[in-house]
């Protein structure tokens, strides 16, 4: 709901600050006073094209600030703000500010955070609907008709959207499987060769490192064989070092008891024998590990080179060959077992498509029944609005299968025929300006609280009508405002003005060469005087004042 509007330097408006209430508000004033300027300023705040002609002459910048009640938590508007990182405090108003320079540059802000004009338009569409002589938004846009009918029908569209998502997911899986099988089929001969080659090679993870290490050890063994042999000769036989140490130990053992130093010498000799034995063991192990066997070295090198060559062929590391074997084998198996897998996926697609069709058909039936109720409800509103010759129809048309989507299988559009025997056509193409606004009012009253912005503005909806028709318009505006909407009506009709819960009068004044437009909120006495002016013209008579009093009493 619009709570406040501040305008500075817009055409004839020098400075203006207005507060708004809930319910029906009316804006009146003499022709040319500047009512359209007020709507242009609000349109600028809601993202309309920035026209430098709006900047008041003699100033370099114009600004409009509009304040709205905070959006409800979880509402589409709250989600839109959050998705665009616009901070909205709990319970704090949503503030829109738009500045426009005389050279044409403009800037937009949401809660003092810079934003694009496109985002401003999207936010504005959630906040305000403006229905005027040249309106092409709101109820005139067929894109929104289906959602309005669904809301009127109290239809659960989430089930259809979920069924559609499941259907499309099943189709995506089937398409991916078919593409994988087709690719594998194209590569069948190559796959068969590669899998056979890899399986024959039977690579193992870590094998390359083990082969490389063994090869290096054997190559070292070839170089060190002579030195190791000479060293081992020192340990071998009865004349070897360890044998001589043991002999000395036996002789010393017989003498050790004669002196403490001999006992210590015997202990040291025993330790030397143990170390010598360990050294001999390590030398033999090293000799075996680096044993040079030309055939074994050749076999090791052959296997190592085969692994590396295969890795180069498949552009991978040797340790990845084992996994590659499994991957290629799986692709080959998919060709053989693909038919069975495809059959299961095709069955899943058919099942999900059937589930979507059932859900969408139920929704379509709900729409058809709701359309009939809506047509009847709108028809009841047309005659009092001097549209008794017109007919309204909600078209619910089955879409071709390739256009079915999460919103269902129907196209919905509101159509009218203004004369008996005339064909039905879209609202915007048939109705004149005044008729169009009255059609929209009839629709809005029939739809009541279903969808749309909380603030609705009707610009001269009563143009070309008077008397009972104007009174009927006023009654319906008040009824719609009582259904939880805030309505602002620019009107020339005293019958409509009398229905307002609050009343603004727009006036134009001149001082020398300076012309200004001002807006004032009227109290009860001011409302009576303004409605009397609207009834009598230039000179307000007592009879007009009495009639204005009667209109206000009836409206109350």
List, for residues 345-354, the tens digit of each pLDDT value.
999 999 999 9
SS3 label, residue 288:
helix
Range with top average pLDDT, 159-173, 258-272, 335-349, 371-385: 159-173
**Is there a contact between 44 and 63 (Cβ–Cβ < 8 Å)?**
no
Lowest-pLDDT range, 242-251, 418-427, 523-532? 242-251
Instruction: Tell me the per-residue pLDDT of 166-179, one tens digit each, with 9 for 90 and over.
Output: 999 999 999 988 88
pLDDT tier at 485 (50, 70, 90 boundaries)?
confident
Residue 140 pLDDT:
74
Task: Find the mean pLDDT for residues 495-504.
Answer: 91
Q: What is the mean pLDDT of residues 192-216?
A: 89
Give the phi and the psi of residue 401 in degrees, each rounded to 5. -55, -35
Q: How confident is the model at residue 554 (pLDDT cuts 50, 70, 90)?
A: confident
- pLDDT tens digits, 48-84: 888 888 898 889 999 999 999 999 888 889 999 999 9
Is pLDDT of 136 > 60?
A: no
Q: What are phi and psi of 35, to 5 degrees?
A: -60, -35
Residue 107 near residue 114 (C-beta atoms within 8 A) = yes
Mean of all residue pLDDT scores within the chain? 85
Span 218-225, average pLDDT: 68
Q: Which residues pair with 459 in a beta bridge?
A: 490
Give the residue, 219 or 504, on which the prediction is more confident: 504
Q: Is 61 helix (H, G, I), strand (E, B) or coil?
A: strand
Q: Do 450 and 151 contact (CB within 8 A), yes or no? A: yes
Segment of 147-151, 227-231, 321-325, 539-543 carrying the highest mean pLDDT: 321-325
**Is residue 368 pLDDT above 90, yes or no?**
yes
In this predicted structure, the answer to whether residue 338 has a pLDDT above a threshold of 70 is no
On the question of pLDDT at 132 being above 70, the answer is: no
> Sheet harboring 113-115: ordered strands across?
13-19, 2-10, 61-68, 94-101, 106-110, 113-115
Closest by alpha carbon to 522, among 531, 534, 514? Answer: 531
Least confident of 31-40, 57-66, 546-555: 31-40
User: What is the pLDDT averaged over residues 449-477?
Assistant: 79
Average pLDDT over residues 496-511: 88
- Chain segment 103-125, per-residue pLDDT in tens: 888 999 999 999 998 999 999 98
Q: Is the pLDDT of residue 185 over 80?
A: no
In this predicted model, what pLDDT tens digit does every residue of 82-104 receive, in sequence order? 999 898 888 899 999 999 998 88
**Please, which residues bridge with residue 485 across strands?**
none
Strand partners, 149: none
The arithmetic mean of pLDDT across residues 318-340, rounded, is 83
Average pLDDT rounded to a whole number, residues 365-376: 95
pLDDT at 539: 81
Confidence of residue 337 (pLDDT cuts 50, 70, 90): low
Residues 422-440: what's their mean pLDDT? 74
The confidence score (pLDDT) of residue 237 equals 64
pLDDT at 335 over 60: yes
Residue 38, Cα to own-chain centre: how many angstroms?
34
- Ranking 95-99, 289-293, 390-394, 488-492 by mean pLDDT, the lowest is 289-293
pLDDT surpassing 70 at residue 161: yes
- Checking if the pLDDT of 384 tops 80, the result is yes
Domain ranges of the chain: 188-334
pLDDT over threshold 80, residue 150: yes
Tell me the pLDDT band of 467, cut-offs 50, 70 and 90.
confident
Which residue, 453, 495, 463, is CA-closest to 476? 495
Q: What is the DSSP letter of 108?
A: E
pLDDT surpassing 60 at residue 386: yes
Strand partners, 397: 411
Percentage above 70 pLDDT, the chain: 91
pLDDT score of 134:
47
pLDDT confidence of residue 513: 73
> What's the rounded Cα separation, in Å, for the pair 124 and 45?
8
Q: Greater confidence, 34 or 372?
A: 372
Confidence (pLDDT) at 98: 94
Which one of 60-64, 240-244, 533-537 scores highest in mean pLDDT? 60-64
Residue 9 scores a pLDDT above 50: yes
Distance CA 490, CA 35 (A): 7
Please report the pLDDT score of residue 229 as a whole number: 64
Using the 8-state DSSP alphabet, how is residue 400 labeled? P
Task: Express as a percent the part of the chain with pLDDT over 90.
Answer: 33
- Residue 230: is its pLDDT beyond 70? no
């Amino acid at each position: 709901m619009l709570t406040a509007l501040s305008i500075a330097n817009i055409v004839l408006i020098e400075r203006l600050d207005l507060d708004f209430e809930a319910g029906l508000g009316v804006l009146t004033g003499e022709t040319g006073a500047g009512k359209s300027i007020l709507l242009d300023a609000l349109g600028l705040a809601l993202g309309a094209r920035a026209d430098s002609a709006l900047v008041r002459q003699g100033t370099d910048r114009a600004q409009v600030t509009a304040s709205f009640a905070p959006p409800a938590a979880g509402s589409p508007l709250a989600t839109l703000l959050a998705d665009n990182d616009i901070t909205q405090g709990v319970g704090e108003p949503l503030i829109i500010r738009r500045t426009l320079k005389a050279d044409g540059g403009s800037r937009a802000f949401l809660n003092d955070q810079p934003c694009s004009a496109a985002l401003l338009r999207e936010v504005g569409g959630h906040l305000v609907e403006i229905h005027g002589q040249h309106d092409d938004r709101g109820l005139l846009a067929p894109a929104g008709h289906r959602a309005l009918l669904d809301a009127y029908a109290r239809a659960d569209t989430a089930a259809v959207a979920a069924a559609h998502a499941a259907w499309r997911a099943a189709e995506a899986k089937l398409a991916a499987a078919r593409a994988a099988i087709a690719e594998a089929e194209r590569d069948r001969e190559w796959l068969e060769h590669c899998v056979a080659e890899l399986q024959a090679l039977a690579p193992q993870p870590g094998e390359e490192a083990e082969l490389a290490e063994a090869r290096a050890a054997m190559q070292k063994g070839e170089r060190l064989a002579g030195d190791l042999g000479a060293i081992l000769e020192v340990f071998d036989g009865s004349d070897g070092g360890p044998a001589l140490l043991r002999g000395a130990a036996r002789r010393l053992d017989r003498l050790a008891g004669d002196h403490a130093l001999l006992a210590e010498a015997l202990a040291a000799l025993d330790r030397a024998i143990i170390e010598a034995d360990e050294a001999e063991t390590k030398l033999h192990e090293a000799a075996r590990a680096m044993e040079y066997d030309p055939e074994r070295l050749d076999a090791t090198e052959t296997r190592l080179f085969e692994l590396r060559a295969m890795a180069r062929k498949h552009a991978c590391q040797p340790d990845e060959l084992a996994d590659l074997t499994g991957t290629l084998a799986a692709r080959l198996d998919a060709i053989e077992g693909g038919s069975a897998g495809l059959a299961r996926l095709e069955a899943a697609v058919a099942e999900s498509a059937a589930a979507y069709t059932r859900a969408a058909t139920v929704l379509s039936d709900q729409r058809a029944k709701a359309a009939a109720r809506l047509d009847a409800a709108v028809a009841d509103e047309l005659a009092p609005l001097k549209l008794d010759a017109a007919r309204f129809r909600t078209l619910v048309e089955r879409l071709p299968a390739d256009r079915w989507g999460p919103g269902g299988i129907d196209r919905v559009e509101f159509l009218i025929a203004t004369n008996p025997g005339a064909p039905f056509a879209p609202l915007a193409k048939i109705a004149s300006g005044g008729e169009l606004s009255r059609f929209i009012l009839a629709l809005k009253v029939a739809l009541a609280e279903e969808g749309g912005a909380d603030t609705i503005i009707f610009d001269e909806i009563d143009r070309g009508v008077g008397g009972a028709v104007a009174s009927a318009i006023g009654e319906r505006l008040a009824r719609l405002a009582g259904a939880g909407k805030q309505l602002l009506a620019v009107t020339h009709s005293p019958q409509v003005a009398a229905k307002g819960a609050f009343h603004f009068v727009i006036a134009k004044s001149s001082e020398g060469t300076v012309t200004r437009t001002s807006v004032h909120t009227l109290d009860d006495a001011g409302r009576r005087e303004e409605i009397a002016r609207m009834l009598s013209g230039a000179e307000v008579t007592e009879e007009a004042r009495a009639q204005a009093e009667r209109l206000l009493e009836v409206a109350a």
